[in-house]
Amino acid sequence: MSRRKRYLIANMPYHVVQRGHNRNNCFFDETDKACYLSILERCLSVYQVQLHAFVLMSNHVHLLMTAGQDGKISNVMQNLGRDYVHYFNKRYQRVGTLWDGRFKDSLVDTDQYFLACQRYIELNPVRANLVAHPAEYHWSSYQTNARGVPIGIVTPHQVYLNLADTPAKRLENYRALFEQNFPENELKQIRDAIKHNYPLANESFVQHITNKYNISFGRRNKGRPEKGSE
């Protein structure tokens, strides 16, 4: 059976997830994570892709990215995955695959879902019971988006910039979003979208994109997300 063709449209943000094979670790320590971000930074620069949010977990990563040209996110992920596997296999004297197949991607409707998706990504360590608050986890974009700690690879999206006119107020308003409980229906929508490579959007937006670009995203799955979805 042939694989579904990817449609990674320029100037639209995508939620991207890549997991370790069989959910095995792809990071064992801070050196691994620092290397991954270094390779990611180089790939973002080469392919002119912007990263708005990220989190590195022990066995998977979440990225929120926008490319200036169609398909460039795929270029980033292919080169990032290859070069990091080379580093990882050499360091741990292993051979073979590291990733669980192709990365998952979900186009994100900026008008309705962008901040929800960004917050979902940065709350991942809290849902995994690694920390009580996202500020305690140092390998995510929360450090820059909510605390103002410079992270060179992160480029704020316009939706984030629209939170306020000044950096200080923007940080304050963004932190306030994390004081609210994450709605269960939004959690399910985000998980379902990334699981099935479906846009994180309402149906009218999906129909608009389908008609404009003459593409099909298939059918949205209405069932429960997989156990352990993060």
Partner residues linked to 99 by β-bridges? 20
- Cα–Cα distance between 156 and 51 in angstroms, integer? 8
List, for residues 24-36, the tens digit of each pLDDT value.
999 999 999 999 9
Which domains does the chain carry?
A: 13-207 (3.30.70.1290)
pLDDT at 218: 64
List, for residues 20-69, the tens digit of each pLDDT value.
999 999 999 999 999 999 999 999 999 999 999 999 999 999 999 999 99
Tracing tokens 């352990």 back to the chain, one arrives at 228
| 121-131: b (≥16 Cβ within 10 Å) or e | bbbbbbeeeee
Confidence band of 153 (pLDDT split at 50, 70, 90): very high
